[in-house]
Each structure stands twice: as C-alpha cells, then as structure tokens.
Structure 1
Amino acid sequence: MKRKVIQIANSTQLVSLPRKWCKKLNIKKGDEIDIQEKGSQLVVSTKGSKEGETIELDVTHLEPMTARIIHAMYKRGIDEIKCNFEKQAELEKVQKALGKETVGYEIVEQGKNYCVIKNVSGDLEDFDPILRRIFLLLISMAEEGLAALKAKDTTALKTLIPMEESNNRFTTTCRRYLNKKGHSSAAVVGPLYYIIEDLENIADQYKYLYTYFSSTGFKKMKISDSTLKYFEKTTQIIYKYYDLFYKPDKEKIAEVGKMRKELVKEWYSMLGKMKEPADIIICQNMLTIVQKIFNLTGPYLSFSTELKLRR
C-alpha cells in the first residue's frame, strides 16, 4: 500500500497508519509503537496483543496425519481450531495430539461431531532463552549418550529418550513464536526457522539410536573404540556450531567446514573395516548429524552480519 507524506511546519513529516491494521491490533490514540529503520525501509510494529487466527479442520479419514497437522497449525500460530469428525476414534486422535508439543492448546467445546481447540495460555516465552535451551539439550543428549554407550548402560540410554520430547516442545514453541511475533529483522525469520527445524531433526537421530540400542541385546554388542571416537567428534562439531552461532567468528566457520570434511573422509575410511552392526548403525547416524550441522551453516551465514570475513 502507499501513503502520502504530510508536511507539518518545516521539520516534521507524518505518514498515517492503515485503519484496518490499527483496528486489528487495537491501536488507539496515545499508544506507543515501535519503528525500526532498515535502510530504505521503516518497520512499524506493536507489542500489543495480536488478534488470534482461527481455522476449521476436517479430521475425518485423516489418520495417520492428524497430530502432525494440528502441530503444524500450532507452529503457524493458530489460536483456535474447530475440528470436525465422524467417529469417536477420530476425536480420540485429536485429544491425543494435544500433548506436550502444543503447550496451551485445550479442547474448550465439544459436540457430537466437532470440538473446538483453543490456545488458553498467555504470552509466549522469550525466544532467545528457549533457543539456547535447544542447543544445550542437544549437546547434553550427545554427551550423556556417549557415556552410556561406553558403559553399555541400557537404563541411562532409556532416560535420554524423553529428552527428545523436551526438544520437540522447545523447537515447536520457537517456531510458533516466529510465526506469531516474527523477528526484529524480517530477513532472519526464514533461515532461523530452518535452523530450528533441523535442530529438532538432529535430536530425532539420537532418539532413534538410543531407542534401538536400549531395546535390543545392547550389552552383547561390540562397539569399537574408533566408533566411540567418531561419536565424540560428532559431538564436537555440534558444540562448535553452537559456539559459532552465539559468538560469530571467521575462524570458527572455517573450522566447522574442515571438521565436516575430515569426518566424511573418516567415515569412508572406516566403512570398509566395519564388521559389527553396532558400529555401522552408530556411524551412519553420526554421519547424518554431521551433514545436518554443516547444512545449518548456510542459513546461519545468510543472516549473520557479525562475521568479519574481510580484513
């Protein structure tokens, strides 16, 4: 949309705000709004409550995707969903979907063939502390998992599996936050959303690995020292990316690239020598994690303006 500039006296210029936008966000005379200067753009925003978005969803014959779609609507920032269904079993799937990942979602109304899900929680938590928790939780899953594998401690591995659910809850909250409130820089939202999405996927890799070993004859399996060392090196590249993310540095980004290159080369060198299934399973999962971490450097570099890449 376009607005004409209004000249007031000799030094003041005014631009009116769209009435529809003001009405939607309940902006009144005397309210304060935030204005950020970004080159040739001015970004106008308000911290006022945003009108909740509502949708209607037919979950009939939607299995096995019911939970996934409801979770997607949560991440998108939807505050109210009317779910239509035909069978009781379909309602039960909806109820089950409202678990730990959709904090604040509750069924507030229910009829014969429908129910209404509404976000009943208050404001979302601050974004930055939750994002840091995601990184630290991932590093903890890796470090504690390595210790459990070395000790062949099945009980310890089992206790690590629920950490993936915590990771899901944090990553889901962060993505909902980005969709609801955005970021001070609009250019950051897309890359950051991608990074958070794959941090969740990396936690899944550890969950799959720990679930497999804790449900099989783990103590009878042979895991070579070289495989455990490879696991440890994979943890190091995760930590290196975490350090880079919060403390940008030219040398760190180069080091992540070098570590990835060495780990891929080492994987091919080990592949021909591995005979034990446990070694192959662990190293394959670690290689997947290494590649995912390396792929996260792309979206990170697209919005990091603090790296001093020039002298």
Structure 2
Amino acid sequence: MKRRVIKQGHNTLTITLPHRWVKVNNIGPKDEVNVLQKGLDLIISPQMHHDLPGRTIRVDARDMSIPLIWRSVSSAYRAGFTQIDVSFDTSPQSKDIYSAFSYNTLRYLFDGKKSKLSPLEGIQALVNRLVGVEIVDNTEQNCTIKELAQPSQKEFEVTLRRIFMLLLTMAAECREAMEGNKEKLKAIHIIDTNLDRFEDFCLRVLNKKGIIENPHKSHTLYTIVFLLEMLGDEIKKFSIHLLEEETISPEMTAVFGRIQKQLERFHKIFYKHDRETTLKIYAEEMKIRKLMKQTISPRTEAEVEFFYHMKTILRLVRSLTELTIDLHVDNGEEEENGF
C-alpha cells in the first residue's frame, strides 16, 4: 500500500497509519509505536504486540481419534489462538500409556500395557505439555483451553537455545549407545517430548509476534524450527533402532560420529556466521556421503533403517545450513544472529 507524505510545521513530515493495522493492534491516540530503520526501509511495529480481537477457534473433535485430536488442537496452539474451544465424544479409546508424552519409552521401561483414555483425558495430556495454556472449563462433551501467560521474544530466544542443547544431547547419547552404552537411550523419548514442547512454543511465538526487529526473518525462523522438530524425530527413530539392535558395525559408528560433528558445526554458524565452518559443512557432507557409499553395505533390515536415518539427518542439517545462510543475510550483509 502507499501513503502520501504530509508536511506539518516547518520541518516535520508525517504519514497516516492504515486503519486496519491500527484496529488489529489496538493502537489509540498517544500510544507509542516502534520505528526501526533498516537500510532504506522504515519498519513500524506496535510497542507491544496485542492479540487479534476474537482470537478464538472452535475445534470439532467428534469422531476423531486421539492422535487426530492432538494434531487439531496443537495446530490451533501453534497458530497463536488465545482460546481453543473443543467439542468431543465421550467414548474412551485404547492408547499406549503416556505415549503422547514419550512415544515407545514405556516399552523399554515397563511392560507396555495399554490403557483406555477418554478424549478429555487425551486433550488434558496434550495441554499438560503446552506452554502457557490450561483447560479453564470443561463439561461432558466440551472443554475450553485458554492462554494464561503472554509469550515474549526473550522467552523465544531462551527456548530456541534449549532446543539446540536437547538436539546435541540426543545425538551425543546415540553416539554413546553405538559404542556400547545404551542406558541413556531409555529416556531419549522423554527428551524428544521436551523438544516437541519447546518447538511448539517457538512456532506459537513466531505466529503471534514474529521478530520485531527483523520481521522478514520470522518466516525463515519458522521453517528452521519446523525442520529442527523433524531432525529430533529422526534422531529419536534412530535411537529406537539402536535399542533393538545388539551390535553396531564400527563403520556405521564412525559415520554417525561425523554426522554428529556436522550438527555441532551447524549450531555454531546459526548463532554466529563463520565462513570457514560453513564451507566445512558442505565439504564434509560430500565426504560423508562418499564414505557411506564405500564402506557401508546394509545387510539386515535394521542396518537399512540406520542407513536411511543417517542420510535423512545429514540432509536436514544441510537444509538447515542453507536456511541459516538466508537468516544471516541482512540488506546484503552477513550479520551475527541476534534476532
């Protein structure tokens, strides 16, 4: 849209703010707004991002399975709605105990018995792992999930760092398991649950608020967080196969060790661009792929799964590296990632 510049007084030039933007952000007379100069651009944003009026959504979960209810409610949460009204059936469904929290974990810790969960119990299990929301009202066939705390950009930054730490921990524990110490892997699914919890929160913040100082980065960051979730899922699946397999070949262990280093390099360039490290990521990927082709010949079904997950992890790290290069480019210059 275009705005005509109006001269007021001797040296003052003004423009009017779009009515729809003013209404959406609840801007009134004497309110302050942020004005940020980025090169030739001038970015105007609210002093504090307000929720859109009527940010309520109704989820009709009748006839849905518990996994589909989870997906529908978590999608509304990620989208940034402040209130989610859910209607559901009352019939219980068979579901692995706490599988919503720690997929497959109970299989290795306990006897893996199944329990009957009602839709409300399933929704409560989901809400327990969502940051900043609670069920504030429920009846036999309905419940209301409401935001109790406003997320902030500072919380986003802290949570994103936690995501990286958890990913690095998961990769390190997989490496230890390949070398013979599998005990820690029994809890890796719980780590993955926390990873999902933090990623959902980060996506919610990006949808609700974006990155005020660099709004154009929000879309790239959203994709990065989404791929970090996929990366965590791949490492989790890899760990499941590690628990089931008695012996791992030295060649497979060596390759995964080099992939683990790739993840560490990506973490480094995400927060501070380093040209040499970026070049190293690309060069090392080619070497790892060549090594996998030359030294690994999957013979068993488990080895085929290992091979597939390692290739997927390697590909995700490269995609994340490419997105991080986009993230660091600002007005034609590469910058430190400070959001």
Per the normalisation by structure 2, the TM-score is 0.81
The answer to whether the 8 Å contact 2:241/2:302 transfers is no
The answer to whether the 8 Å contact 1:84/1:115 transfers is yes
Aligned pair count? Answer: 301
* Residue of structure 1 equivalent to 2:177: 148
* Residue of structure 2 equivalent to 1:121: 149
* Residue of structure 2 equivalent to 1:57: 59
TM-aligned CA deviation for residue 19 of structure 1: 4.7
* Residue of structure 1 equivalent to 2:113: none
The answer to whether the 8 Å contact 1:141/1:206 transfers is yes
| 1:289 corresponds to 2:313 | yes
The answer to whether the 8 Å contact 2:177/2:242 transfers is no
| 1:105 corresponds to 2:133 | yes
* Residue of structure 2 equivalent to 1:139: 168
- Give the AA of the match of 1:44: I
Percent identity at matched positions? 28
| Aligned partner (choices 183, 186, 201) of residue 215 of structure 2 | 186
The answer to whether the 8 Å contact 2:151/2:205 transfers is no
| Aligned partner (choices 263, 277, 288) of residue 263 of structure 1 | 288
Tell me the distance in 2 between the aligned counterparts of 1:3 and 1:15: 6
- Give the AA of the match of 1:243: K
* Residue of structure 2 equivalent to 1:161: 189
The answer to whether the 8 Å contact 2:252/2:296 transfers is no
Residue 151 to residue 222, structure 1, CA distance change in 2 (3 Å):
closer
| 1:70 corresponds to 2:99 | no
- Give the AA of the match of 2:279: A
| 1:79 corresponds to 2:82 | yes
Tell me the distance in 1 between the aligned counterparts of 2:39 and 2:281: 32
Tell me the distance in 2 between the aligned counterparts of 1:229 and 1:223: 10
* Residue of structure 2 equivalent to 1:93: 122
TM-aligned CA deviation for residue 276 of structure 1: 5.1
Tell me the distance in 2 between the aligned counterparts of 1:298 and 1:146: 25
- Give the AA of the match of 2:177: A
Tell me the distance in 2 between the aligned counterparts of 1:109 and 1:170: 25
Tell me the distance in 1 between the aligned counterparts of 2:187 and 2:124: 26
Which stretch shifts more, 91-100 or 227-236?
91-100
Tell me the distance in 2 between the aligned counterparts of 1:234 and 1:202: 12
| 1:47 corresponds to 2:47 | yes
- Give the AA of the match of 1:78: F
* Residue of structure 1 equivalent to 2:327: 303
Which residues of structure 1 form unaligned runs of 5+?
none
Tell me the distance in 1 between the aligned counterparts of 2:189 and 2:178: 14
Q: CA RMSD in A?
A: 2.3
- Give the AA of the match of 1:162: I
Residue 90 to residue 257, structure 1, CA distance change in 2 (3 Å):
same
Deviations 1:108-133 (A, max 9, x none): 12234322111112333522222122
Which residues of structure 2 form unaligned runs of 5+?
92-117
| 1:170 corresponds to 2:201 | no
- Give the AA of the match of 2:309: N
- Give the AA of the match of 1:262: K
Tell me the distance in 2 between the aligned counterparts of 1:149 and 1:262: 21
TM-aligned CA deviation for residue 14 of structure 1: 1.4
Tell me the distance in 2 between the aligned counterparts of 1:49 and 1:295: 31
